[in-house]
Amino acid sequence: VQAVCKRVSKDKNKKINSRQLRVTLATRLALKGYGLGAIAKALDHSNLESVLSYAKNNEEFSFRIDQAINDSVSPYIASFSKKSDDITLRLVDDLIIIKELTKELIAGYTKQAEFEILTDFSSILECKINKIVELLNWESMNNELL
């Protein structure tokens, strides 16, 4: 690693150290969609806390989180089309509980990096829940008009 750092530093007239290489590796893994566990393993970290500082929250990483949430929420959306008020109400209740539990989880964190990631996750989750509820209300209104 030191030999590579020296060679790259010499080529670019810029000092590069092993920490910068680790940050780059971790950020690239995050951009490719790898989870914190995989990043921790690649960096030989024993816990996820130390990895959070490497996982930079940028637009593409947020997009990947958004996509993952879309994939996990789609079964709920599909069940709305069953037009069963009972199932729909239970799903909405479940989503509201998830939103509240996420807010409680965030309130308990003190480390800034974790707090920022959880806050971003909560915002995305809340946005998705609101879209589902809007869709549900829209479908309900259309069904009443028919």
The Cα–Cα gap between 23 and 40 comes to 12
Residues 88 and 42 in one domain: no
Q: Please give the pLDDT value at position 77.
A: 61
Asked whether the beta carbons of 10 and 27 are under 8 A apart, the reply is no
pLDDT above 80 (res 10): no
What is the radius of gyration, based on Cα positions, of the chain?
A: 21
The Cα–Cα gap between 18 and 5 comes to 7
Q: Please give the pLDDT value at position 125.
A: 76
Q: How many domains does the chain have?
A: 2
Average pLDDT over residues 86-110: 69
Residues 83 and 140 in one domain: yes
Boundary-marking domain end, from 41, 56, 71? 56
pTM of the model: 0.35
Which ranges of 1-146 does DSSP label H, i.e. alpha helix? 2-12, 18-31, 36-42, 49-52, 59-80, 85-107, 112-145
Boundary-marking domain end, from 11, 33, 56? 56
Q: Please give the pLDDT value at position 58.
A: 47
Q: Which two tokens stand for residue 114?
A: 């974790």
Q: Which positions ≥6 away from 144 have C-beta within 8 Å?
A: none
Amino acid letter at 52? L
Q: Please give the pLDDT value at position 70.
A: 64
Q: Please give the pLDDT value at position 36.
A: 77
Residues 73 and 17 in one domain: no
Amino acid letter at 98? I
Residue 2, domain extent: 1-56
Distance of CA 68 to the CA centre of its chain: 7
Residues 78 and 16 in one domain: no
Residues 23 and 73 in one domain: no
DSSP state of 36: H
The Cα–Cα gap between 21 and 7 comes to 13
Residues 91 and 137 in one domain: yes
Span 35-72, pLDDT tens digits: 778 888 888 888 777 777 665 554 455 555 556 666 66
Residues 5 and 65 in one domain: no
Asked whether the beta carbons of 26 and 20 are under 8 A apart, the reply is no
Residues 25 and 66 in one domain: no
> Which range has the top average pLDDT, 10-14, 66-70, 80-84, 104-108?
104-108
Residues 26 and 63 in one domain: no
Q: Which position has the higher pLDDT, 69 or 82?
A: 69
Residues 19 and 34 in one domain: yes
